[in-house]
Structure 1
Amino acid sequence: MAESKRHRDILNLLQQNGTLSIAELAGRLGVSFETVRRDLRPLADNHAIVRMHGAVALPSMLGEAPFERRLRDNPEAKKAIARELAATIRDGDSIMLDTGTTTSILARELLGHRRLTVITNSSDIARTLATSNENRVYMAGGELRSDNGAAFGSTAIEFISRFNVLHAVISVGAVSAGSGILDFDFEEAEFARTLLTRGDRRIAVTDHSKFNRSGLVKVCDFSDLTHLVTDGTPPPDIMSALESAGVTCLIASLT
């Protein structure tokens, strides 16, 4: 691939996705970390991109939090996934949710439910569900991140470890047939891994764009899940791995 074409590909990916990690860019382009870093240098020197903490973005997108940008990625797919999962949750159920765009949309789909017990590290989810329909909402403590208003770290993990719930739901950064469920942030992966241990149903939610995507940090094996909810049939290798692990795959309809 000619260098100028790869530069265009990088800029197109950033335009479509907002902020991307170096690992994610390498996976999307099918090249090594070092190749991506080398390609990014002239773009950064020419101020076409901005580099920050292992990730890159377009300068025009820095005024908006990455979480807010991700809410606009595949919105119909995420709403369909949220509807599919919400239909399996009953009034009075207990549910634990990590922070993520799909789990935030799920919280909105749950506004029609009553008397839920909700445990989360997301201020957005807590705010959505705390004041409606006799719900009880518990929020993990700690410093809230500026981009997504969520708490991570040992305090948040210790807090959620006190609860056992019927539904434990995590959002997903990447899904790999060989590696399982992956993310791009160590603390987020650690929190999600602990969250899954607290539920009778252990559920991952992801739209189809995350399949066979590269991730930096492993969250869990497929065998740590009971369900995966998505908007399209996974590729054969992932579907085979899910079936071998005994995971029920729920496919949401977009219609």
Structure 2
Amino acid sequence: MLNKRHGAILGILEAQGALPLAALATALGVSAETVRRDVRAMAEAGAVVRVHGAVGLAGQTGEAPFDRRMRENAGAKRAIARAMAEQIGDGDSLMLDTGTTTSFLARELLTHRRLTVVTNSSDIARTLATVNGNRVFMAGGELRGDSGAALGASALEFIRSFAVQHAIISAGAVDASGVMDFDLQEAEFARMVLACGERRVVVTDASKFGRRGFIRVAGFDHVDLVATNAPPPPEVAAAMAAAGVTLQLCASPTAAGSLAG
């Protein structure tokens, strides 16, 4: 923490969520330029995230770096991945976008054989390629340094020609309007994935429910199944039910044992 006012900024963002810079300046009673300097320093230190003229804590405005997200809610993501892997048979075809839960799913699929996998994730491609007779097709495009995802027009054009049994995407946020994300190119890719699948699946841990992303991926009318680890809020559950979406709750072994006890 660089100065006392930075502590006040964190307190306001914690209480009110992400705010435009002008609103934050008003709340602090300082000039917009002062807030801009404070936010710049705090963003460089990793304390806040700036997105589209607003500022907030990392969990409010976007997703944390990929490696850190792989450690967050890992037990829940692993349980979801394990349950999904049980629904995929040897020889099946699937398309996976870049996400922590889909990366966990790739690891759960290591005992499967002769899979045909289409993905834009270098992590998923490395995990499943050259093992058990799998065929892996990796989309080309600009490679993100954080997530190892290939994105952009060439990646979209590449996957457009595939038709798979299971189209599986992760989610940055899920509210009553459907699935959302924080990155335009990732949202575009996930939307295209859903269009390529016979069975359209969203895998997401329950921390994403009630969050609202900046970019719409798809409404629930474009989703067949949502696999998660805990029930969504009532308004989200109602929207899923109205669209005919199947909700699958995937408990971790530890959680299941606690419930049984």
After superposition, the C-alpha distances for 1:32-56 in whole angstroms (9 at most, x for unaligned) are 4346764764354466547777387
Q: Is the Cα–Cα contact under 8 Å of residues 166 and 201 in structure 2 kept in the other structure?
A: yes
- Alignment of 1:54 with 2:57, yes or no, is no
Paired residues for 1:143-158 under 5 Å: 143-158=142-157
Q: Does the 8 Å CA contact 2:98/2:170 hold for their aligned counterparts?
A: yes
> In 1, Cα distance between the equivalents of 2:237 and 2:181?
19
1:82/1:3 CA distance change after superposition, 3 Å: same
Residue 131 of structure 1 and its aligned partner are, at CA, apart by 1.7
Any idea what SS the aligned residue of 1:71 has?
helix
- From 202, 212, 227, the counterpart of 1:214: 212
Contiguous gaps of at least 5 residues in structure 1: 14-27, 59-64
Which residue is equivalent to 2:230? 232
TM-score, structure 2 normalization: 0.80
Alignment of 1:121-136 (within 5 A): 121-136=120-135
Q: Deviations over 1:177-225 (max 9, x none)?
A: 1x21000000000010011000011001110000010210000000100
Q: 1:3 to 1:253 in 2, by over 3 A?
A: same
Give the match for residue 33 of structure 1.
20
CA distance in 2, matches of 1:165, 1:151: 19
Amino acid in the other structure paired with 1:223: D
CA contact (8 A) 1:50 1:57 kept: no
The amino acid of 1:116's aligned partner reads L
Query: Could you give the per-residue CA deviations for residues 105-137 of structure 1, whole angstroms, max 9, x where no partner exists?
Result: 100000011000000000100000002100000
- Please give the alpha-carbon distance, in whole angstroms, between the structure 2 residues aligned to 1:243 and 1:169: 19
Aligned counterpart, 1:62: none
The letter for the 2-side match of 1:86 is: A
Q: What is the 5 A alignment of 1:104-253?
A: 104-177=103-176, 179-253=177-251
Conserved 8 A contact 1:49-1:57: no
Call closer, same or farther: CA 1:29–1:132 in 2, change over 3 Å.
farther
Pair 1:190–1:254, CA change in 2 (3 A): same
Greater Cα radius of gyration, structure 1 or 2: 2
Write the distance in 2 (CA, Å) between the matches of 1:57 and 1:5: 13
Contact 1:115 1:136 in 2 (8 A): yes
SS where residue 150 of structure 2 aligns?
Answer: coil
Aligned in 2, Cα 1:154/1:82: closer, same or farther, shift over 3 Å? Answer: same
Return the alpha-carbon distance in structure 2 between the equivalents of residues 166 and 134 of structure 1: 18
| Equivalent residues of 1:7, 1:43 under 8 A apart | no
SS at match of 1:137: strand
Are 2:75 and 1:76 aligned? yes
Match of 2:10 among 7, 10, 16: 7
Give the superposition deviation at 1:241: 0.5
CA spacing shift, 1:73–1:128, aligned 2, 3 Å: same
* Identical aligned residues as a percent: 52
Aligned counterparts of 1:186 and 1:8: Cα–Cα separation in 2: 29
- 8 Å contact kept, 2:165–2:198: yes
Which moves more between the two structures, 193-202 or 44-53?
44-53
The one-letter code of the counterpart of 2:51 is: G
Q: Which amino acid aligns with 1:7?
A: L
CA apart distance, 1:57: 9.8
Say which SS state the counterpart of residue 142 (structure 2) adopts. Answer: coil
